[in-house]
């Protein structure tokens, strides 16, 4: 049978449930050297795991997720990778991590593993850092910021590309697919390998990530570690499929189910998947059937869900001692060599763990390390107004020009989104771009989370993706990827994640409650995201160019009402804006109106009316919410003594509350009246324009608030 369309060596449903009762299936080893290498790493993983479990019991470790029982699968999968491949692990994949990090010739000297590869770091040093990471010490990979295996370790010179996890299981599958996408875009034959447990296969990201990986034929291998119980829920209550590998077939990818206690079988399956990936044949799903031998975390009592007789069967089939016995009994492994490997492991573990226990706690200053790779301002001097020229263009054309110029300038810029290719986008922002760069302008399925995850993975490997949400409202479907994966990356790992998420947002066009939201307040609250809300055609162009060049993730809010309603000449390709600089767009002495996006125009209209009444209002256009240009706002308020904040987001929780709080905190002594806010009502957006106008922050509402403040 063709294994691209059917399972290979798949266990039947009954066999999957009872395989723990059978004798270990260990296939004939194609290479004794490979078998001994697997044995060494499996034994090392078990020894490290046991040591950290002991540290938990003695109170020197706060939490431990045991990998006992997964070693045959994780080690075999890790050893299938080559330098430059990407490993995306979860919290039970210590074996794969060791296989990727350690050169066997140096980790197990005198054990017949040949010459060192000359790439990977000294085993003692890298295991010391790993032990420090697990203990939360300052010399760990994340300097104490991250727990256990949530870190990343990218060392291109050593051929190591290891990306850790977030706690939302399944979320890293699209990210791994994004790494695979980047590798394919680069024209390399490298692959990405990701792990997931049976429980995580029910998440939306599992389906979105695998579907996109298959549609785009990405070099991804996903290993499902099926322990039959997830945290505590039997598989019969998780899914109705006969095998999880059947899901891979449903997505049109190669898939197979193997005995996860048999390292040779796992190695063969994963190596087939890796070979397919390297040959450009797309992704593979390998389901490894394992026995549940430990709780979700040590001491949580979740192991009680496994019936006692079933648990005893799993314990009897423990893959580490079973594999040792198999290799010794078949003559593949000599007792003397096994003893030498054991001695090397004992010394490695003792040295690394004891050194880590003696190491320092993290420096408290580490807690304050930057959430952004680039500072808010690169210099004290503000950028001068750019020179504009040519015929007036619309706001939407300014966005189009920015995308075109940045794609021409930088081949790492990619565009992703629904219907942005042949159809050229819901608002025709991307017209002509797919025809010019078909490999860099990618139509995506309706999969916001999957698309953002792929963008994150590709950004970590050197690309600058620009993701278009068809409407800003749809970003909610990708919320987790944006706020928990993308936003936190630099603070967690000090790895830049340069991507832009374009959000056609806002109301005023009668689009109803699911096409009119202003979500900027959600993301201004999230540390690690920059938020841009341009009001003019010039800013739509130069700030988008700045956002694309920025090393941090940027949420770029484009107000739909402005798309074709405002026009003006724009600067040439050489002009680039700067994030974090507000602008005074109208000078005044009596009152300050602070606004952004479409509300800037509302504020200007109100200022014109006030001027006819003898009141000169200063209007500040924030342009970017994060970084927030507090200096410009405070200077304007101190100048006038009065402030009204205008925005289209809802009043409660809107960014205007933050602006008002900053003014009250920093400029209270200069205020002659309370700060007022004019915002959208706390309600969804109605469809009928007459109803919508009742809720929008209109010119008349701004005027009423301004007059109240002036009369105070």
Q: How far apart are CA 120 and CA 575, in angstroms?
A: 44
d(CA 708, CA 712): 6
The pLDDT tens digits of the residues spanning 372-412 come to: 998 755 556 788 889 998 999 999 999 999 999 999 999 99
CA nearest to 170, candidates 217, 212, 214, 204: 204
Residues 490 and 604 in one domain: no
Query: How confident is the model at residue 296, as a pLDDT?
Result: 86
**Whether 401 and 299 share a structural domain:** no
Per-residue pLDDT at 203: 94
What pairing do the DSSP bridges indicate for beta strands 160-163 and 643-650? unpaired
State how far Cα 616 lies from the chain centre: 47
Look at residue 371 and tell me if it is in a domain: no
Confidence of residue 263 (pLDDT cuts 50, 70, 90): very high
Domain C-terminal end among 542, 570, 598: 570
- Tokens 């920059």 — which residue? 530
Give residue-wise pLDDT tens across range 579-604. Answer: 999 999 999 999 999 999 999 999 99
User: Residue 692's CB: how many other CB atoms inside 10 A?
Assistant: 20
- Residue 193, helix vs strand vs coil: strand
pLDDT at 424 exceeding the cut of 50:
yes
Both 350 and 393 in one domain: the answer is no
User: In this structure, are residues 546 and 507 in contact, taking their beta carbons and an 8 Å threshold?
Assistant: no
E strands in 405-553? 413-417, 441-443, 464-468, 500-505, 530-532
- By C-alpha distance, which of 521, 624, 618 is closest to 581? 624
443 and 405, same domain (yes or no) = yes
Catalytic residue among 515, 525, 559, 647: 515
Q: Are 456 and 489 in contact (CB under 8 A)?
A: yes
pLDDT tops 80 at residue 228: yes
Query: Residue 677: which H helix or E strand, with range?
Result: strand 676-680
Compute the distance between CA of residue 367 and CA of residue 452 in angstroms, rounded to an integer. 27
Are both 557 and 623 inside the same structural domain?
no
In a domain, 372, yes or no: no
**Is 515 assigned a catalytic role?**
yes
**Pair 488, 601 in one domain:** no
Q: Which two tokens stand for residue 539?
A: 């800013």
Long-range contacts of 691-699 (CB under 8 A, 24+ apart): 692/507, 692/508, 692/510, 692/516, 696/507, 696/508, 696/648, 697/599, 697/602, 697/646, 697/647, 697/648, 698/602, 699/602, 699/605, 699/606, 699/609
Q: State the pLDDT at residue 29.
A: 57
User: For position 377, what pLDDT does the model report?
Assistant: 56
- Kindly compute the dihedral angle of the four CA atoms of residues 691, 692, 697, 698, in this order, to the nearest 10 degrees: -70
pTM of the model: 0.93
What CA–CA distance (Å, rounded) separates 621 from 705? 18
Structural domains in the chain (count): 3
Q: Is residue 190 part of a domain?
A: yes
Domain co-membership, 485 together with 604: no
Query: What is the residue whose two structure tokens read 């919508």?
Result: 692
Q: Which helix (H) or strand (E) holds 457?
A: helix 448-460
Residue pLDDT, tens place only, 17-27: 333 333 345 55
Q: What is the mean predicted confidence (pLDDT) over 642-654?
A: 97
> Locate tokens 């697990």: which residue?
134
Q: Are residues 700 and 661 both part of a single domain?
A: yes
- Give, in degrees to the nearest 5, the angle at Cα 269 between 121 and 223: 65
Quick one: 51 and 82 in the same domain?
A: yes
Calculate mean pLDDT across residues 301-316.
91
How much is the average pLDDT of 623-639?
A: 97
Alpha helices in 111-254 (DSSP H): 123-135, 172-185, 204-215, 245-250
Q: What is the residue range of 615's domain? A: 583-711
| Spatial separation of the C-alpha atoms in residues 46 and 44, rounded to whole Å | 5
Query: Distance between CA 477 and CA 368 in Å, rounded?
Result: 31
Same domain, 339 and 435: no
| Boundary (domain end) residue, out of 570, 594, 614 | 570
Q: The tokens of 424 are what?
A: 């050229």
User: Mean pLDDT across the stretch 43-68?
Assistant: 92
pLDDT at 27: 52
- Do residues 69 and 170 both lie within one domain? yes
Shared domain check, 276 and 318: yes
pLDDT of residue 20: 32
Q: Which of 500, 535, 570 is the last residue of a domain?
A: 570
Beta pairing class for 153-155 and 160-163: antiparallel
**Closest residue by Cα to residue 550 from 526, 579, 527:** 579
Per-residue pLDDT tens for 321-379?
999 999 999 999 999 999 999 999 999 999 999 999 999 999 999 999 999 998 755 55
Chain-centroid distance, C-alpha 202: 19
- CATH number for the domain spanning 666: value is 3.40.50.920
Confidence class for position 619, pLDDT limits 50, 70, 90: very high
Give 560-621 as a DSSP string. GGGTTT-EEEE--TT----TT--EEEE--SSEEEEE-THHHHHHHHHHHHHHHTT--EEEEE
Nearest to 376 by CA among 578, 549, 553, 575: 578
In a domain, 6, yes or no: no
* Mean pLDDT computed over 463-473: 96
Instruction: For CA atoms 296, 299, 304, 307, give the dihedral sign.
Output: positive
Judge whether 374 lies within some domain: no
240 within domain boundaries: yes
Mean pLDDT confidence for 60-73: 92
Q: Are 373 and 402 in contact (CB under 8 A)?
A: no
* pLDDT-based confidence at residue 6 (cuts at 50, 70, 90): very low
In a domain, 410, yes or no: yes
Residue 236 sits in a domain of what CATH number? 3.40.50.970
Distance CA 331, CA 35 (A): 11
What is the rounded radius of gyration, in angstroms, for the C-alpha atoms of the chain? 29
Under a CB-based contact definition with an 8 Å cutoff, are residues 703 and 610 in contact? Answer: yes
What does DSSP assign to residue 447?
A: -
The answer to whether position 1 is within a domain reads no
- C-alpha 25/C-alpha 268 separation (Å) is 14
Q: What pLDDT is attached to residue 299?
A: 81
Non-local CB neighbours of 215 within 8 Å, separated by 6+ positions: 445
In this prediction, residues 161-177 reach a mean pLDDT of: 95
């Amino acid at each position: 049978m063709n294994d691209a369309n059917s399972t290979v060596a798949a266990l039947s449903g009954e066999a999957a449930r009872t395989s723990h009762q059978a004798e270990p299936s260990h296939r004939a080893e194609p290479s004794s050297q490979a078998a001994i290498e697997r044995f060494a790493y499996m034994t090392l993983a078990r020894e490290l795991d046991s040591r950290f479990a002991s540290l938990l019991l003695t109170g020197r470790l706060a939490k431990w997720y045991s990998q006992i029982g997964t070693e045959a699968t994780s080690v075999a999968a890790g050893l299938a990778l080559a330098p430059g491949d990407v490993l995306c692990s979860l919290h039970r994949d210590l074996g794969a991590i060791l296989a990727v990090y350690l050169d066997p010739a140096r980790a197990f000297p005198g054990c017949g593993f040949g010459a060192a590869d000359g790439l990977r770091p000294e085993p003692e040093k890298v295991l010391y850092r790993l032990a420090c990471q697990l203990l939360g010490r300052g010399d760990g990979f994340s300097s104490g910021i991250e727990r256990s295996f949530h870190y990343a370790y990218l060392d291109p010179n050593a051929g190591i590309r290891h990306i850790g996890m977030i706690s939302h299981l399944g979320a890293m599958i699209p990210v791994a697919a994004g790494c695979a996408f980047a590798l394919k875009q680069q024209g390399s034959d490298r692959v990405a390998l990701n792990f997931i447990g049976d429980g995580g296969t029910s998440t939306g990201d599992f389906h979105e990530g695998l579907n996109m990986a298959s549609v785009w034929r990405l070099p991804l291998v996903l290993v499902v570690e099926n322990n039959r119980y997830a945290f505590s829920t039997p598989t019969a209550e998780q899914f109705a499929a006969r095998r999880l590998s059947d899901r891979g077939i449903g997505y049109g990818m190669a898939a197979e189910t193997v005995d996860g206690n048999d390292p040779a079988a796992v190695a063969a399956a994963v190596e087939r998947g890796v070979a397919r990936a390297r040959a450009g044949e797309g992704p593979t799903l390998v389901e490894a059937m394992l026995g549940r031998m430990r709780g979700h975390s040590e001491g949580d009592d979740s192991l009680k869900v496994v019936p006692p007789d079933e648990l005893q069967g799993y314990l009897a089939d423990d893959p580490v001692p079973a594999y040792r016995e198999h290799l010794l009994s078949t003559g593949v492994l000599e007792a003397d060599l096994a003893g030498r490997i054991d001695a090397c492991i004992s010394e490695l573990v003792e040295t690394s763990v004891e050194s880590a226990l003696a190491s320092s706690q993290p420096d408290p200053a580490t807690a304050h390390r930057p959430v952004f790779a680039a500072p808010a301002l690169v210099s004290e001097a503000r950028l001068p107004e750019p020179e504009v020229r040519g015929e007036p263009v619309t706001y939407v054309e300014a966005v189009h020009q920015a995308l075109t110029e940045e794609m021409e300038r930088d081949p790492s810029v990619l565009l992703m989104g629904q219907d942005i290719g042949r159809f050229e986008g819901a608002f025709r922002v991307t017209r002509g771009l797919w025809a010019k760069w078909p490999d860099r302008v990618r139509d995506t399925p309706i999969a916001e989370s999957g698309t953002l995850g792929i963008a994150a993975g590709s950004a970590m490997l050197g690309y600058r993706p620009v993701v278009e949400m068809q409407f800003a409202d749809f970003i909610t479907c990708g919320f987790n990827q944006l706020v928990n994966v993308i936003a936190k990356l630099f603070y967690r790992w000090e790895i830049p994640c340069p991507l832009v998420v374009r959000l056609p947002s806002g109301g005023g066009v009668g689009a109803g409650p699911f096409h009119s939201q202003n979500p900027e307040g959600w993301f201004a609250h999230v540390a690690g995201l920059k938020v841009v809300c341009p009001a003019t055609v010039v800013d739509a162009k130069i700030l988008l160019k700045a956002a694309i060049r920025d090393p941090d993730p940027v949420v770029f809010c484009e107000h739909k009402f402005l798309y074709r309603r405002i026009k003006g000449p724009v600067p040439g390709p050489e002009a680039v804006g700067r994030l974090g600089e507000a602008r005074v767009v109208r000078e005044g002495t009596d009152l300050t109106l602070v606004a952004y996006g479409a509300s800037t125009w509302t504020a200007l209209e109100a200022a014109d009316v006030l001027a006819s009444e003898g009141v000169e209002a200063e209007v500040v256009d924030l342009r970017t919410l994060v970084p927030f240009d507090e200096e410009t706002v405070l200077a304007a308020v101190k100048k006038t003594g009065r402030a009204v904040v205008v925005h289209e987001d809802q009043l409660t929780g809107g960014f205007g509350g933050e602006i008002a709080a900053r003014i009250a905190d920093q400029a209270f002594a200069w205020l002659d009246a309370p700060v007022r806010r004019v915002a959208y009502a706390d309600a969804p957006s109605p469809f009928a324009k007459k109803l919508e106008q009742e809720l929008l922050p209109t010119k008349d509402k701004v005027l009423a608030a301004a007059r109240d403040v002036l009369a105070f």
